[in-house]
Structures are given as C-alpha cells and as structure tokens.
Chain A
Amino acid sequence: MSLATIFSLAVPTLALLGILAVNPAEDTFLSGGYYAWFLVGSALVVTSAILLLRRSPRTWKNGSILLWLSAACFMGAYWNVHVDGGRVDALRRAATKLVKNAGDTGAAETWKTRGGEPRTADASAVTRLEEDLSAVTAIEYLLSVTFVATFYMIGVYAAPKRQREYHVLREEVEDPLAFKEIYGIS
C-alpha cells in the first residue's frame, strides 16, 4: 500500500472522528447538509484510494475523477455549514456590523436577509454567535483540511512520474534540466 493510499484513507477517517468529537450539543443551531456532503466525499476518496491501488490507465482515470468529485463534495460540505440558516462568514460579518451600528436598520435587515433570526441590535447577537461558533469553526477547519488533503492527492496523481507509473502519459514530458543543454550551461 502506497503512502498516498494511506493518506487518502487516513484523512477522511481522522476528519470524521474530529467532527464527531466536536459535534455541537443538540440545542445548538448548526444546520445545513454539511454532514451528508462530507460522508459522500469521504466515500469517494476511499473508493478512489482502493481503485488507485491497481496501476492501470483505467484506474488512474476513474480514481482521478473520483478525487475531483470528492474535492467538490468537501467544498459543498464547507458551503453547507450553516448557523441559524445562514452562511457562517456572512452571518459573522452581518452580526458584527449589527452590533457596531446599533439601531442601524440597514444592518438589521442585512442580518435578517443573511438568514439570521430577527433580533435586537445588541452585543449578545455576536457574543452568542462567537460562543456557539467555536464548534462550528472547528468543523470548518476540519472540512477545509480534508478538502486541501484531497486537492493535494489530485496534484500528486497528476505528477508526470505518477502518470508514467499508470501508463497514461500520452507523450514524454521534457526533462526538467533540458534547458541547460539548450543554453550551454554545464
């Protein structure tokens, strides 16, 4: 089993354990389909890792497509981490603005249209958000790391050396040091 396969299997497993560990309590407001997106993405990564164990052009092609799809799923999971029905970043900004401009109806409207509950403009909006956000922020980081790891795997399997191993290199790429001969560098 190659290092890349171990990495592909380990990252989503660790992320799943992490998400389960930091999962917010039942009365919190975390919503959105992030968990489903994450599980589908993880299943795709594991399938691609198993496929890529066999070195053939077909497994490289299918494995690579699955990696791209799983990266998209992890991005989808990140997109779907919702708080009070709104995107975390947007809510955080709107809530901070709401508090800063206390009584500003424009800011209050922004807060509502971003999906937040209608509420009085006071610091409690942000304080609550920040308190509850620690778990959400941890989940955001876990999903991001999983996405990045998957993206790295795409890059690893795109390397000419890997393409050669899987017999998919359609024509030989240039030697990295070929320019020395052209310019007469010894």
Chain B
Amino acid sequence: MNPARSPWNERARVGEFIANAADVAWGLPFILMLGGVGLWFTIRLGLPQVRNFGHALAIGRGKYDEADDPGDVTHFQALCAALSATVGVGNIGGVATAIWYGGPGAAIWMAIFGVFGMMTKFASCTLSLRYRVIDPAGRILGGPMESLSRGLGKNFRWLAVMFAICAVISSFGGGNMVQANQMAGAFVDEFGPRLKEMAPGLMEPIHLFGAGTDEQSTTGVQIILGLTLALLVGLVIIGGIQRVGKVAGILVPVMAALYIGGALTVIVIHLDEVPRMLSDMFSMAFGGSIEKKVAGGAVGMTFVQALTWGAKRAVFSNEAGLGSAPIAHAAAKTKEPVREGLVAMLEPFIDTVVICMMTALVISLTGVWESWEDGSNGAALTKAAFDAGMPDNFKWVGRYTVAIGLILFAISTAISWSYYGDRCITFLIGPKAVLPYRVCYVFALFLGANLSGGVVWQFADIANAAMAFWHIVGLIGLSGVVVTLYKDYFSRDHQPTEL
C-alpha cells in the first residue's frame, strides 16, 4: 500500500481538514458578523444598552412580573437558565487564551464586544418571545427556529430546520460531552494526586471501550463522575424548563458569587496596581504594541491581535448571536416580547463585561500570562493566576475557586443545553422525540466524562458556529420587527406591579 494513502494518513488528513474547518467557522468572518449585528442594532436603536439598563435590571428583579402572564418561568429564572448555559469555560479558560495570544488589551475588546453582544441578544430574544408558540397543553416552543419560520415566512422554513439540526448536534457537543469532559478533567487535575495516594485503584487506567493507548483510557474516578453527572442532570432535565429554571435560579447566583468573590479577593490584594493595569490594558487595546519575553527572543503583540483575540473569546463566551439563549428566554412569563429582550440584554453584560473582566484582571495583575508556557490550556493559566494572586497560606482558595467554578459551570451548562436540544428536536420531530432525546443526552454525559473527543468535538464546534449563520439571516431580515416592537414598547407607560 502506498504509505501516503494509508488509513492513518487519511484519518490525519480528515482530522486536519475538520480542525481547519473549525478554525474558519469560528474565524474572523464569523466574529465580525456577530459583532456587526450587535453594532448595527446599537446604532438603529440608539444605544439601549445604556438608556434602558436600569429598566432591564428592574424587570430582572421581578418588579414587572405578573402571576397570570403566559409562560413557564419568571424573568429571573429565564435569565438564570440562559446564563447557566452561557457562563462556562469561556469565562475561565477563554479569557486566559485571549490574553496569552493578544495581551491584556484583548480583555478590553472582549468587554466592547460584550456590549455589542447585549444588543444581539436583545434582538434575538425579543423575536423569540414574539414568535413563540404555546401548544394546547400549555408547553412553550420558541427560539430562532420559530422566529425564522413564522417571521420570515414559508420560504425560509428550511433555515429554521437547519438551525434546529445544528442546535441538536451542538447540544451533544459543546453543551454536553465537552462540558462533562471539562468537569472530569478539572476534578482529576485538582483532586487526582490526592486520590492516587488515598485510593490508587480509582486512578488506574481502564479501557472502557476495548483496547487502546493509555491516552484513550479512562479511570475509575471518571466513571464515577460520569455516572454522578448523568444522574444529577437527568434528575433536573426530566422536570422540564420549570425545574431547569428553578435549579439554575439557585446554581447561577451561587457559582457567580463564588467565582466573583475569589476574583475580587485577588484584585483587592493587588488594589494599588489596578489603576496602572487598567491604563495599560486600554493603551494596549488601542494601538499600543507590547513585547512578551519568550525563550529565544520576544514576541510582539499588536492592536490587531488584541482586537481579534478579544472579539473571538467574547463571542465564544457570551454566545450572543448563536441563537441558543432565545430558546430559554422564550419560556418567560410575560406578554411583552421587549421586556424579555431587555432581561436577556443583561446576560452578555454579566458574562463578558463583569465575569470575564474579573478573570482578565486576575491574570493581568499577577503577571502570570507573561511567564505561562502554553496558551491553549487557558483554564490552567487562570488557575495559576489565582494561585499566584493569593497569599501563601490561602493558595488553596484560589485553586479551588477555579476548580469548583469549572465543575459548577460545566454542570449548569449541560443542564441548560438539554433544554435547547429538547425544544429543537420537538420542532423537528414532535413531542414524542423528547424522551428518547433526554435518555441519549444523559448517556452522552457519561461518555463525555470518559472519552477524549478530538475530531468529534471539532465537528460539534462547526455545528455550533453554523447555528449563528442561519440565525443571523433571521436577525437581519426581522430587524424591522425588532425596531417596531422596541418603539411601540417605549411609546407606552409601564408601571411596576405590586406583588
């Protein structure tokens, strides 16, 4: 056999092709498209992120909730359900990667793209509420698939179908198996060495699916983690969006408080350096070029790198424009589409402007990003930064903040993505597909904790990006509807309800 055509080479070539396709799918065109939509809505609606921020907070706090409004969950629960899917590895590892490749200035661009993302999310969630469907049993079906098919008309139902297919694939990839794998990885990294001493049998390699190298094996502890995660998530998702909303309503504030608390501690310890660091970050973001010392010389970091990496990681983190969050927001109890859109607008703010900025400050203040060797492992960099930022006796607090944060973020993301897939499979096949889907979803969590996915996950990455391509057509085509709804809402007087 010609060695150039051997199955191994063919597999490597396919792997390389998919890796390149994932690079391109999440590349510059995609980033500019999502950022551009946000910028466009910002201009068309006259900076609502600033003008309506207070009103959005009041709605999120339940000041406009009405018990008899149609829907399944409150504004706050819908926000938490969507946030639990959004706040994840991107907030911990993604920021570190952006800073490693683009310098601390990348964090400023992340925040700027976060602000544009607020409008993309506002538009998509407003449309999702406007075009949601409530079936005779009272179940809600909403999201970009309904906005595309009902808003743009029959000519574009195929776009809705494409979106739903990509969302189902993504729910098994980035929303499920990747999260399970990250959770198991974080647990083994942090507690593995101690477990090896206490119960060495649990850390022995096990070949769950036949023979293979040690890299393809799992361990007893990963099997236990996979089963536990599958059981926990299964118990939550079986209860539908109401239970997802309730659990997210508790989990999201707890995990956000834990992580922000840890980050604030490091920032307070280095408080005197914060003004200088912020000023450096701004100058690096807008034209300043810096040099990072590396083995054998120095690597220059330019404004373009800061912009590109900041934008990339912002979109990856807040998911504005992908079309996933509108599915959760569609379940909100409200008669006013714009009201839920405003609540959804808070999501990129919390995710990218607040949490990512905290992570960025910790990494920049501790200076770890300059000495770190491998930017592709962002979570490890963040963990090292938290470790370096804490006083000697409290290093464990920093490490555990990141490890526990990663585990909780992964669990909550897996819970919310099940609902996204659940709604999309209902749109494609009907309610009878929900139970088989949920069973497969729970089983995939177990697999994710025990397998290293490689190419399969890159394929899921492509499907994840593809969701946005179909969705953005709808956002642009229905931008007139968003403007009409927005103007109509603010032309009326709105009084808080007395509950």
Interface of A toward B, CB cutoff 8 Å: 74-75, 78-79, 87, 89-90, 93, 96-97, 99-102, 113, 121-124, 126-127, 130, 137, 140-141, 143-145, 147-148, 151-152, 154-156, 158-161, 163, 168-171, 173-174, 176-177, 179-180, 183, 185
Nearest chain A residue, comparing its CB with the CB of B477: A158
Contact of A96 among B33, B101, B302, B469 (CB under 8 A): B101
| With contact pairs A144-B32, A148-B29, A176-B130 given, residues A155 and B477 touching in the complex (Cβ less than 8 Å) | yes
Q: Quick one: which of B152-208 are within 8 Å of A by CB?
A: 152-156
Comparing B221-229, B290-298, B323-331, B356-364, the segment that makes contact with chain A is B290-298
Tell me the smallest distance from the CB of A45 to a CB of chain B, in Å.
15
Comparing B233-241, B254-262, B372-380, B434-442, the segment that makes contact with chain A is B372-380
Q: How far is the CA of A93 from the CA of B150 in the complex (A)?
A: 43
Q: How far is the CA of A102 from the CA of B296 in the complex (A)?
A: 7
Q: Are B374 and A97 in touch, CB under 8 angstroms?
A: yes
Contacts of A96 in B (CB 8 A): 101, 299, 375
Contacts of B476 in A (CB 8 A): 151-152, 154-156, 158-159
Nearest chain A residue, comparing its CB with the CB of B295: A102
Tell me the smallest distance from the CB of A143 to a CB of chain B, in Å.
7
Comparing B18-26, B212-220, B393-401, the segment that makes contact with chain A is B18-26
B304 interface residue per 8 A CB criterion: yes
Q: How far is the CA of A170 from the CA of B158 in the complex (A)?
A: 14
Q: How far is the CA of A137 from the CA of B480 in the complex (A)?
A: 34
Q: How far is the CA of A161 from the CA of B131 in the complex (A)?
A: 17
Of the A-B pairs whose beta carbons lie under 8 Å apart in the complex, a sample of 25, sorted by A's number, is A78-B24, A78-B29, A87-B20, A90-B23, A93-B101, A93-B376, A99-B297, A102-B295, A122-B297, A123-B295, A123-B299, A127-B299, A144-B28, A144-B32, A154-B476, A155-B479, A158-B473, A158-B477, A159-B477, A163-B153, A163-B155, A170-B154, A173-B152, A176-B485, A183-B335
Contact of A99 among B20, B294, B304 (CB under 8 A): B294
Closest 5 pairs (CB-CB, A-B):
A155-B476, A123-B297, A158-B477, A102-B295, A144-B28
Nearest chain B residue, comparing its CB with the CB of A120: B296
Contacts of A177 in B (CB 8 A): 484-485, 488
Dominant SS among interface residues on chain A = helix
| With contact pairs A96-B101, A155-B472 given, residues A174 and B297 touching in the complex (Cβ less than 8 Å) | no
Q: Are A100 and B28 in touch, CB under 8 angstroms?
A: no
Q: How far is the CA of A174 from the CA of B151 in the complex (A)?
A: 7
Tell me the smallest distance from the CB of B164 to a CB of chain A, in Å.
18
Q: How far is the CA of A127 from the CA of B374 in the complex (A)?
A: 18
Contacts of B488 in A (CB 8 A): 177, 180
Q: Are A122 and B296 in touch, CB under 8 angstroms?
A: yes
Interface of B toward A, CB cutoff 8 Å: 12, 16, 19-20, 23-24, 27-29, 31-33, 36, 70, 101, 130-131, 150-156, 294-300, 302, 304, 335-337, 373-376, 469, 472-481, 484-485, 488, 492
Q: How far is the CA of A87 from the CA of B473 in the complex (A)?
A: 28
Q: Are B29 and A123 in touch, CB under 8 angstroms?
A: no
Q: Are A90 and B20 in touch, CB under 8 angstroms?
A: yes
Contacts of A102 in B (CB 8 A): 295-296
Q: Are B472 and A151 in touch, CB under 8 angstroms?
A: yes
